[in-house]
Amino acid sequence: MRWMRVVTVVGVLALALVGCSGDDGEGTTTTAGDIVTTLPSAGVTSGGVSTGGGTAATGTGGSAATTSTTSAPIGPPEYEIAKRNEAEAGATVVVLLDPNSYTSLSDLDLQGVIRDVYERFPPVLTVHVVDEAEAVDLVLLERALTDDELTVLDAHYLARLEDGIRIVYVGPFDEFPIAILGS
Boundaries of every domain in the chain: 2-71, 79-180
> Distance between CA atoms of 96 and 73, rounded to whole angstroms?
17
Q: Which amino acid is at 59?
A: G
Per-residue confidence in pLDDT tens, the chain, 183 aa:
433 343 344 444 444 444 444 444 444 333 334 333 333 434 433 333 333 444 333 344 444 544 444 555 667 899 999 999 999 999 999 999 999 999 999 999 999 999 999 999 999 999 999 999 999 999 999 999 999 999 999 999 999 999 999 999 999 999 999 999 986
- Residue of 45, 50, 8 whose CA lies nearest to 29: 8
> Distance between CA atoms of 90 and 8, rounded to whole angstroms?
50
For the question of whether the overall pTM of this predicted structure is more than 0.75, the answer is no
Give me the pLDDT at residue 183, please: 66
